[in-house]
Amino acid sequence: MLINKPAGIPSSEITPPEIYRQRRRFIREAAALTAAGVSTALLPAATQAAMKFPQLRKSRYSLTDEQPTSYKNITSYNNFYEFGTGKSDPAERAGKLRTFPWSVAIEGEIKKPAVYQLEDLLKHHPLEERIYRLRCVEAWSMVVPWVGFSLRDVIRRVEPTSRAKYVQFTTLYDPEQMPGQRPGLLGSGLDWPYVEGLRLDEAMHPLAILAVGLYGEVLPNQSGAPIRLVVPWKYGFKSIKSIVQIRFVEKQPLTTWEKANPREYGFYSNVNPKVDHPRWSQATERRIGADSLFSPRRKTLLFNGYADQVASLYTGMDLKKYF
Ligand code: MTE
């Protein structure tokens, strides 16, 4: 979110240095994208305005009128274990991640496998703003104005074969840039790279998006730059960040969290107030930035409030068994 500043004061004086450096890099990246012909997606880069996506259409899939969480909260309270397990670690440590150039390999059971440069994906998929609730398995939530496009449109373009039943997503593996992937003090105990998965019909649901921005701006690194998944009816950990590979497969992928602790984390991970985590209740949640420790807790809604849209994906399934 850009804030008007009085003329003559350099941004470096009013912006924390790490954010400032990140912004300068966005500008260089935006310039490179513009040179690559992506003028529709990003403005010419001379000022900080280059970080803004122009002319974003509002999506009809923004199904909430709740107040979005502040930019500051969305970008300073994060889970991105590649940079440490603390909530402020990603904002403090992800700044140096190089997010340009960036490519995503789309492969497996499809007719058109290819390695796509991010700017090519952006060229083919018009961006829109989608305001979604994000509910973390740790029982907190946010409301985020994402900038992104339908995963469904990408899937249609690559033409899955009849053997494609699931979609597997993988984050960058680069311990040099991602200190949480190195054995040592920051260790989360997770197996790298981070892997997530969806059933093909879930991935084809119009609410599932690939996000490249928030609050009208390019995603800051801690939020999963340059491209991440957002699946609003599932716990936040399904929304994998900094994706480098999308693979269409026949068998259900083994996801990072299921591998780490299959008793606690299932493949589906749909938000469900009636299915508790073995160590805590999922019936209520705390809204980051809006609720204090003394506020009454909010009731968690089935499928995070998107039941009318997605419940039919799970007809006949025992959601306690397929958690
Ligand atoms: N993706 C990767 N690659 N690594 C992670 O540690 N954390 C997940 C998910 N995606 C994670 C990830 C979890 S637990 C949550 S709750 C969301 O990202 C948090 O997204 P946010 O930081 O943008 O709120």
Ligand 1 centroid–CA 26 distance in Å is: 21
237 CB under 6 A from ligand 1?
Answer: yes
How far from the centroid of its chain's Cα atoms is residue 102's Cα? 16
Query: Does residue 82 contact residue 180 with C-beta atoms inside 8 Å?
Result: yes
136 CB under 6 A from ligand 1?
Answer: yes
Query: Does residue 26 contact residue 186 with C-beta atoms inside 8 Å?
Result: no
| pLDDT tens column, 158-181 | 999 999 999 999 999 999 999 999
233 CB under 6 A from ligand 1?
Answer: no
According to the model, what pLDDT value does residue 100 have? Answer: 94
- Closest ligand 1 atom to residue 78 Cα is 22
Q: Which of the pair, 34 or 271, is modelled with greater confidence?
A: 271
Tokens 């008793």 found at: 263
Ligand 1 centroid–CA 165 distance in Å is: 24
Task: Collect contacts of 273-278 with beta carbons under 8 A, ≥24 apart.
Answer: 273/299, 273/300, 273/301, 273/302, 274/302, 274/319, 274/320, 275/319, 275/320, 275/323, 277/137
Alpha carbon nearest to ligand 1 atom 5, residue = 80
Residue 4's pLDDT band (cuts 50, 70, 90): very low
Give percent above pLDDT 70 in the chain: 85
Distance CA 268, CA 285 (A): 20
Residue 288's identity, in one-letter code, is I
Alpha carbon nearest to ligand 1 atom 3, residue = 241
According to the model, what pLDDT value does residue 47 have? Answer: 40
Q: State the DSSP string of 92-119.
A: HHGGG---SS-EEEEEESBSS-EEEEHH
Query: Does residue 191 contact residue 256 with C-beta atoms inside 8 Å?
Result: yes
pTM: 0.88
- Closest ligand 1 atom to residue 190 Cα is 6
According to the model, what pLDDT value does residue 21 have? Answer: 53
- Closest ligand 1 atom to residue 138 Cα is 16
Residue 28's pLDDT band (cuts 50, 70, 90): low
**Domains recognised in the chain with CATH numbers:** 12-314 (3.90.420.10)
Ligand 1 centroid–CA 239 distance in Å is: 6
How far from the centroid of its chain's Cα atoms is residue 129's Cα? 14
194 CB under 6 A from ligand 1?
Answer: yes
- Secondary structure E strands in the chain: 57-58, 103-108, 114-117, 128-135, 140-150, 166-171, 195-199, 209-214, 217-218, 228-230, 243-249, 284-287, 298-299
Residue 287's pLDDT band (cuts 50, 70, 90): very high
Give backbone dihedrals phi and psi of 133, rounded to 5 degrees, phi first: -75, 140
Alpha carbon nearest to ligand 1 atom 14, residue = 237
Ligand 1 centroid–CA 170 distance in Å is: 13
Ligand 1 pocket test target in 71, 239, 244, 259 with most atoms within 8 Å of CB: 239
| pLDDT tens column, 39-58 | 434 443 334 445 889 889 99
Query: Does residue 298 contact residue 291 with C-beta atoms inside 8 Å?
Result: yes
| pLDDT tens column, 241-271 | 999 999 999 999 999 999 999 999 999 999 9
Residue 2's pLDDT band (cuts 50, 70, 90): very low
Average pLDDT, the chain: 89
C-alpha angle with apex 238: 81 to 241, nearest 5 degrees?
A: 50
- Closest ligand 1 atom to residue 223 Cα is 23
Does pLDDT of 315 surpass 50?
Answer: yes
Q: In 222-243, which positions are buried (b, 16+ CB within 10 angstroms) versus exposed (e)?
A: bbbbbbbbbbbbbbbbbbbbbb
| pLDDT tens column, 104-138 | 999 999 999 999 999 999 999 999 999 999 999 99
Among positive and negative, which fits the CA dihedral 75, 205, 140, 97?
negative
| Residues linked to residue 234 through DSSP beta bridges, in sequence order | 270
Rounded mean pLDDT, 202-212: 98
